[in-house]
Structure 1
Amino acid sequence: MKTYGHFSKMIPLFVFLLITVFSIDLSAQYLPEEPVSIDVDFNNTIGDMDPVWAFWGHDEPNYTYMKDGQKLLTELAELSPVPVYMRVHSLLVTGEGTYALKWGSTNAYTEDANGNPVYDWTIIDKIFDSYIERGMKPMAQIGFMPKALSSRPEPYRHYWKPGARYEEIYTGWAYPPNDYEKWAELVYQWVKHSVDRYGKEEVESWYWEVWNEPNIGYWQGTLEEYIKLYDYSADAVKRALPTAKIGGPETTGPGWDKAADYLRKFLDHVSHGKNYATGETGSPLDFITFHAKGNPKVVDGMVQMNMGAQLNDISKGFEIVASYPEFKDLPIIIGESDPEGCAACSEADYPHNAYRNGTMYSSYTAASFARKYALADHFDVNFRGAVTWGFEFEDQPWYAGFRDMATNGVDKPVLNVFRMFGMMQGKRVSVSGNMAYDFESVRDESVRKEVPDVNAIAAVGEHSATVMIWNYHDNNNLDVAPALVELTLENLPNTKVLMQHYRVDQEHSNSYTYWKSIGSPQQPTTEEIAALERADQLELYTSPEWVTPDNEMKLSIELPRQAVSLLRFTW
């Protein structure tokens, strides 16, 4: 039986009754669709349940050590059984730690009146200390260009705001260096300082990567100039710490022909090109990175996602890497992996971003990560991680529609899907049934058929088994019938197990629904904020229950559109 958990305790009784009546009316008006059968065999393992989701990133590095940034970092660290990696832009940008949307600075490099380098690691240390003290790790991005090293320093600082032309951000920080030797020395000194501060063993576990999206405006140089930058950077990293991990090229959109060509030319160079820094053949490469984005639009007044576009980027990137025998087994990190391309673009200025506050973002996340695993299996590549480019935006309006995990310190529903993933450990196991979509159909057609994508991913560990089920569709229409899922679980232990059922939907694990129920305040009271913080946590859908599967267990679950359930069995 459905339970409302703590949610009903947080809202006024009349609001709760209205929600309940509305739910009853919906169930009377819309009968469930044809049942979806999902069969899970916990004896049939298909691969590791690697925590590829335990990577996050954002444009604004200085948010890291601010009030809400510190709170969210702690929550990200606590939801993961393994160290979380953090990737941020602008770690070498000139400025006194000033921040704004799509801007940040550390002042790590300046020059004196005679042109001699002046290094100041204070702000970078503050950022990395925030990670290390929580057991997190940097995915250290070598960029962007300090003003004193930029070949075109003016204008340097941008003042972009949502609604402005995106190209306005590409100022002096995006240009090649005026002196590659000075650039290399900066990189060398940064890595050396990191080893001195955190120790060799710790820094060996980091990922060092060169720049961001050099195939578009983030790099105002040529492909050859980027390759030269990579060679000098990689050589400097390895001189400071030969066992450090260096990678790239962090290109975006391998699904585009030009982007695919850029990635191939980079891989060709590091394989057998002449190294600009050393004159030798090839360049160090310890992991490969590229980006993948979806493409939502507003169609007939409704947000329509395009998961297929994102999966096509991933598929093409995996295919390209798999075509190089010398690189096929290298770790792949999708350096940004999101439903679209601009985290700092708000809903008010970009209506297609209206998916971000509610359950559409959470169901999209569940469905897309499952297909990333499937694509990696298909191409037999070493998929190490996918960076969710969404953190938080300090001192912005409540639920402004940025792509973030929390708003003003309150978690959004999407973060609870990552809490679910954090409980899925061990080996992935086979999932079969009469589902309408597989990874290839979502990649090639997205989710546009009349029937939704009702599917699952499952895992088994030494003393636990988990099944995540979602009801996703590209069209954000919630006023439709729920899906009836007939779940068959095979080869659970023939003993008593504890079953827990977690849910993210309109009524559970959803601070946004609660915020709207109290009038969408932009200045909530202390009591309202406390209630929002209770509503933002992952919630049980039913009470925990001891069950005896006898090797096979059958369950019927009603799953609303854009909802996600996690069944967890422990023994």
Structure 2
Amino acid sequence: MSDIKFISNRILIIGLILFQSICLAQENSLKINIDAAEELGKMKPIWAWWGYDEPNYTYMKDGKKLLSEIAALSPVPVFVRAHSLLVTGEGTHGLKWGSTNAYTEDENGNPIYDWTIVDKIFDTYIERGMKPFAQIGFMPEALSAKPDPYRHYWKPGAKYEDIYTGWAYPPKDYEKWAELVYQWVTHCVERYGKEEVESWYWELWNEPNIGYWQGTTEEYIKLYDYSADAVKRALPTAKMGGPETTGPRWDVAEEFLRTFLNHVKSGKNYVTGKIGSPLDFITFHAKGSPKVVDGVVQMNMGAQLSDISKGFEIVASYPEFKDLPIIIGESDPEGCAACSEADYPHNAYRNGTMYASYTAASFSRKYELADYYGVNLLGAVTWGFEFENQPWYAGFRDMATNGVDKPVLNVFRMFGMMDGQRIKVNQENLSYNFIKVRDESVRGENPDINAIASKSENSISIMVWNYHDDNNLDVPSSLVNVIIDNIPSEKVLVNHYRVDQELSNSYTLWKKMGSPQNPTKSQIESLENAGQLHLYASPEWKQINYGKTNIEIDLPRQAISLIKLDW
């Protein structure tokens, strides 16, 4: 009898210790409270926008494969923006270069239009249910005011200014330029149908406040008037916008953007002579600024968010434009996708999970900044595609390498499972909110552990990240307790997806293989599988009591979890 009593006491003591341990763990865990009843607005797919410099990669082997994967991860049509769609050349490609030969002239100066390559690019999008974010540019050789030299042969390590050759100059004949634009839009309507082309977005040029435009601000405005008029003559219901300036936090970019908006609002139109110009949406860019500090890459998300914040502030200051859609035409951790890690060590973040966690955290703040300024954010273009026939994991800003997906693409797969309405994430007890990240970036002792959540008719999706600007992975993981209230079901199926150093991560596996530059067919198959989005644990049914539940996550640094509750 005494033995039974002794065993019972032992069990009681062990139970108390376990209970105290659980309570202590919960006490020390970071709590993220989510209220499914408090809706903040539509979970717009602002992430479903991509772009790249090299248009001819579009229809190449790995380009087609990646476009198919991007299209498959999104529940809505993805918009794609590419440079150089009017550049002269026989479809040649290279880093930061592309060509279509859409416009040439005969010996008498008569236009010759050839849409073969442009059609091949747009057909590749349309076949996948994607849509062109059609960039009108750059200047054909026959129209350039300064055509020689025309083609550049830039490579990483060379001066960036070397790319600004004859394609970057104003036209020597604005009427011929306008006719080119008119013929292009008319051709697209004939080929794809009026209803399809009405759903696209047309824009003029890229970053005209820096070397991409070798004319003056006024010459760009003149070109815009001619281009917009031509687009609207070809298709009056087409959507036309601009000006795709660099980050508005810089004085020169802010001045250019305001000068453009002032002209559109009240300036004399160069074509019609009337006041104002057509403007259906507004575009500008936003970039971060990483650097190497004590041998470690240090990101600067605050710089990118400051660009976005300033751009929103500028648009909101114009009552005429405040409700127009805003598209952040390039929205990235820094400014050169084709600059490799070998030549630019601060780009070492690109292959692993740092790019992934940065993407999760920064996109969430874009929603919050749009709410803060009361503007209509439609999309944010990720300027990162793929680079054909380059070394494996060369450190370009891309979504895949040699057809194998990088960890960052899996964050977009997570976003693709979030729809309906954004719901409230209580940030009172968290180290960072969107204002603090904008103003200070993430440089303190604590990481940015936060979440974005959405609710549709039969599901709740919660993305949680553990991000820091310093790419230091040798730190303990964090215990996160996600508490969800007002769940409208008594039972839910929980799926937990993860991107971390081991899961949904082809780069880690490639390094374990010995970083092969000529992987075998079997290795490539393993890498392709590792590059897909994976579950962290088996799906499980969970009973909901009084509309509330909690889910504990052990979240490593630079890792991302997606918790999906379905009923």
Task: Give TM-score scaled by structure 2 length.
Answer: 0.95
Range 426-435 or range 95-104, more displaced: 426-435
- RMSD over aligned Cα, in angstroms? 1.0
What is the distance in 2 between the residues matched to 1:306 and 1:512? 23
> Of the candidates 550, 555, 566, which is equivalent to residue 562 of structure 2?
566
Would the aligned equivalents of 1:302 and 1:476 in 2 still touch at CA under 8 Å? yes
Would the aligned equivalents of 2:144 and 2:169 in 1 still touch at CA under 8 Å? yes
Number of residue pairs matched by the alignment: 541
1:323 aligns with 2:352: no
Counterpart for residue 10 of structure 2: none
> Of the candidates 205, 221, 228, which is equivalent to residue 234 of structure 1?
228
What is the distance in 2 between the residues matched to 1:129 and 1:37? 48
1:42 aligns with 2:36: yes
Within a 5 Å distance, the mapping from 1:40-439 to structure 2 comes to 40-433=34-427, 434-439=429-434
1:296-330 C-alpha deviation (Å, 9 max, x unpaired): 00000000000000000000000000000010000
Range 344-353 or range 484-493, more displaced: 484-493
Structure 2 residue matching 1:537: 3-state secondary structure: coil
Q: CA deviation at 1:37?
A: 1.0
What is the distance in 1 between the residues matched to 2:273 and 2:310? 31
Runs of 4+ in 1 over 3 A off after TM superposition: 31-34
What is the distance in 2 between the residues matched to 1:299 and 1:126? 44
Structure 2 residue matching 1:147: 3-state secondary structure: coil
Would the aligned equivalents of 1:90 and 1:104 in 2 still touch at CA under 8 Å? yes
What is the distance in 1 between the residues matched to 2:551 and 2:234? 57
Would the aligned equivalents of 1:33 and 1:481 in 2 still touch at CA under 8 Å? no
Q: CA deviation at 1:285?
A: 0.2
Say if 1:251 and 1:56 are closer, same or farther in 2 by CA, change over 3 A: same
Counterpart for residue 514 of structure 1: 509
Counterpart for residue 487 of structure 1: 482
What is the distance in 2 between the residues matched to 1:266 and 1:548? 56
Q: CA deviation at 1:494?
A: 3.0
What is the distance in 2 between the residues matched to 1:549 and 1:563? 27
What is the distance in 1 between the residues matched to 2:179 and 2:552? 62
Structure possessing the higher radius of gyration over alpha carbons: 2
Task: Give TM-score scaled by structure 1 length.
Answer: 0.94
1:386-427 C-alpha deviation (Å, 9 max, x unpaired): 000000000000000000000000000000000000000000
1:489-511 C-alpha deviation (Å, 9 max, x unpaired): 10112322110000000010000
Structure 2 residue matching 1:457: 3-state secondary structure: strand
Within a 5 Å distance, the mapping from 1:451-466 to structure 2 comes to 451-466=446-461
1:514-536 C-alpha deviation (Å, 9 max, x unpaired): 00011100000000000101100
What is the distance in 2 between the residues matched to 1:262 and 1:208? 20
Q: CA deviation at 1:47?
A: 1.0
What is the distance in 2 between the residues matched to 1:554 and 1:155? 63
What is the distance in 2 between the residues matched to 1:567 and 1:160? 44
Q: CA deviation at 1:463?
A: 0.9
What is the distance in 1 between the residues matched to 2:110 and 2:360? 51
Within a 5 Å distance, the mapping from 1:492-503 to structure 2 comes to 492-503=487-498
1:328-384 C-alpha deviation (Å, 9 max, x unpaired): 000000000000000000000000000000000000000000000000000000000
Counterpart for residue 21 of structure 2: none
1:468 aligns with 2:468: no
The letter of the residue matching 2:488 is P
Percentage of matched positions with identical amino acids = 75
What is the distance in 2 between the residues matched to 1:86 and 1:33? 46
Structure 1: tracts of 5 or more residues without a match? 1-30
Q: CA deviation at 1:33?
A: 11
Would the aligned equivalents of 2:26 and 2:481 in 1 still touch at CA under 8 Å? no
Q: CA deviation at 1:35?
A: 2.4
Q: CA deviation at 1:222?
A: 0.4
The letter of the residue matching 1:559 is L
What is the distance in 2 between the residues matched to 1:123 and 1:545? 50
Counterpart for residue 528 of structure 1: 523
What is the distance in 2 between the residues matched to 1:174 and 1:32? 59
Structure 2 residue matching 1:515: 3-state secondary structure: helix
What is the distance in 1 between the residues matched to 2:329 and 2:27? 38
1:248-280 C-alpha deviation (Å, 9 max, x unpaired): 000011011111111011000000100011111
Structure 2 residue matching 1:149: 3-state secondary structure: coil
What is the distance in 2 between the residues matched to 1:394 and 1:446? 34
Counterpart for residue 20 of structure 2: none
The letter of the residue matching 1:192 is T
What is the distance in 1 between the residues matched to 2:301 and 2:69? 27
Q: CA deviation at 1:557?
A: 1.0
Would the aligned equivalents of 1:142 and 1:210 in 2 still touch at CA under 8 Å? yes
Say if 1:221 and 1:33 are closer, same or farther in 2 by CA, change over 3 A: farther
Q: CA deviation at 1:554?
A: 1.4
Counterpart for residue 17 of structure 2: none
The letter of the residue matching 2:168 is A
The letter of the residue matching 1:463 is N
Counterpart for residue 28 of structure 1: none
> Of the candidates 517, 532, 553, which is equivalent to residue 537 of structure 1?
532
Q: CA deviation at 1:34?
A: 4.7
What is the distance in 1 between the residues matched to 2:170 and 2:120? 27
The letter of the residue matching 2:36 is F
Counterpart for residue 550 of structure 2: 554
Structure 2: tracts of 5 or more residues without a match? 1-24
The letter of the residue matching 1:352 is H
What is the distance in 1 between the residues matched to 2:248 and 2:42? 25
Range 372-381 or range 33-42, more displaced: 33-42
What is the distance in 2 between the residues matched to 1:200 and 1:538? 37
Range 154-163 or range 32-41, more displaced: 32-41
What is the distance in 2 between the residues matched to 1:248 and 1:40? 37
